[in-house]
Structure 1
Amino acid sequence: MLVKNIPNVKDGAARKIEHIYTGQQDSSIVDAMKKCDSHGPLMVNVTKLYPKPDCSVFDAFGRVYSGTIQTGQTVWVLGEGYSPDDEEDMTVKEVTKLWVYQARYRVPISNAPAGSWVLIEGVDASIMKTATICPMNMDEDVYIFRPLRFNTLPVVKIAAEPLNPSELPKMVEGLRKISKSYPLAITKVEESGEHTILGTGELYLDSIMKDLRELYSEVEVKVADPVVTFCETVVDTSSMKCFAETPNKRNKITMLAEPLEKGLAEDIENGLVSLDSRQKEVTDFFRQRYQWDVLAARSIWAFGPDKQGPNILLDDSLSVEVDKNLLNAVKDSIVQG
């Protein structure tokens, strides 16, 4: 069945890369990945983390799209927040061991060429969900592989706290490991200081709590009743401008909220448009599908929350009103909130 219906790694590489790589498609890196070139620059897409038997650290499971990964090799590990303009989510790690992962069995190997699925030891410390692994001596900008997207969303939430307050650090460390182990789990701290876990349903959360108590933190944890998360929405344009001002009164930011066109939020969530795409592609999408003017489409700063959230942050200021150079200097801070 697999042999008849699934293309081999070389035949399917080009189509795969077009969908999952966020960088330009005319680079030498992409060319090597589309050819599944074992002698090209190393590019590995880490998609899953598996815990060690003692659950203290994780091994990274990923596919080698080009190059050859070897034990003892020093690599860059690029997280989901990495971009050539913001290199904060990047660490340097050494590949200590490699295996071919076969369910219960691990076959040790010294290297894995392009097209291989491989289990990697030594690179997990900075990875939360997915990551991109590449060599340190790249001659051109490297972009990440797109984070995984799922058909279901974590919409059920529980609050957790340790039975013994002094064991809070252990529970927090356990929550970090839960986030690594469960692809659809989200752990966060609310403004009130409450630790919450989001999952796809009660059974999913029950599995998470079992692992948190028995494997990842080994502390007694009490939880609140599960609730379904909800979000506010915008039904009409703001009747007044909201603004925030610095203490010296010299800087002010003004915001307005208004509903998006019908269907636009769904298109963003479904990945039909992404700010990782070329500027022209984004502009053409909004202009042709929703009749936005070119200036408005080019003024989009971010989708949110996260990169595919159904909200748009738009710079609606005019160059005669503000200094665009100064505004762009604080753009990242405004986007981060």
Structure 2
Amino acid sequence: MSRAGRRRRPVVVALAVLCVAAVAGGIALGVLRPWAEPATEPRPIALDGDLATHDPALVVGAAGEPWFVYSTGVPNKALGAPVVNRSDDGGATWEQVGPAWGSDEDPQWVRESIEGVEHYWAPELVEHDGTWYLYFSASTFGSNTSAIGLATGSTLDPADPDYGWTHRGAVWRSQAGDTYNAIDPGVVEDADGNPWLFFGSFWDGIHAVPLEWPSGMPADGAEPVLVASRGDGENQIEAPYVVERDGWYYLFVSWGKCCSGVSSTYSIQVGRSRDVTGPYLDAEGRDMADGGGTEVLASDGSMIGPGGQSVSQGHLGYHFYDGDAAGAFRLAVQELGWSDGWPVATPEVPVPPG
């Protein structure tokens, strides 16, 4: 059956818990209260246009303004700079509008310190005080000789006369012998407005490290804190993204293997915490640092290996591998639903009519 014809019931990532669950720090998760917000359903968007996207950093524009997706670069285009896609109709139709920067603007610090980088992976976009911060990953497959870089600019739109990125150098590094891999950046501000960088892929999992504004670089004395791990042999966990909602920090991660077409095994998992550094507990009270995670979205029919996610204005952006197109990777966007304080997603990937 084609995706256009599929109408599945949404995957609700948490069931109502009928009694208070005592968990670390004294936080009760999933407690039914008479003032709890009503459940909402996820709303997928039928996308068209240029959808070949890996690891999308989604930015939902205000009413009447464009949406943007920055994603993993293409090795033979602008030396692998992140790819920029734009939508002028509320996220329905996407056009590739170029690489984030040209070959002559390639960050030389990467070439001088990490051998073999062909393209930049898994970008992150954060706006602070009128400046956009573009974080990106520099690495090679299977290696943790890696770095997260930073560039800053005033606009996301390559058509804007003020468009352009200034490279600021490496934010955080890892090398052989380290217990983590410095790729897949995700940034969130805590209750005091201080930024935190989440990162990690395989090795011993996902870490958080404090940054500071306006540099967007690590705070003095910053040390990484482990927040999520599979705790098994391969530790297939990566692509952290944290969003704050109603006093909770929600940590989204991708479990499994990406980049393998129809053999990809990615799924999106989540946990939440009252503190930006955790512990992040899933809907059953399991710590994500000890293998916990509640499934948000997993392979379903021809929608294979969803992951590489980001969240903007309540919308989940991710990529998947299309079983109806020989495993080609493509972009998907949906407005998240919520039930009992947990995000709700749907495996339905509608296609535009015609």
**Which TM-score applies when normalising by structure 1?**
0.24
Larger % of strand: which? 2
Higher relative contact order (CA 8 A, sep 6+): 2
TM-score of the two chains, using structure 2 as the length reference: 0.23
Specify the structure having the higher radius of gyration (Cα).
1
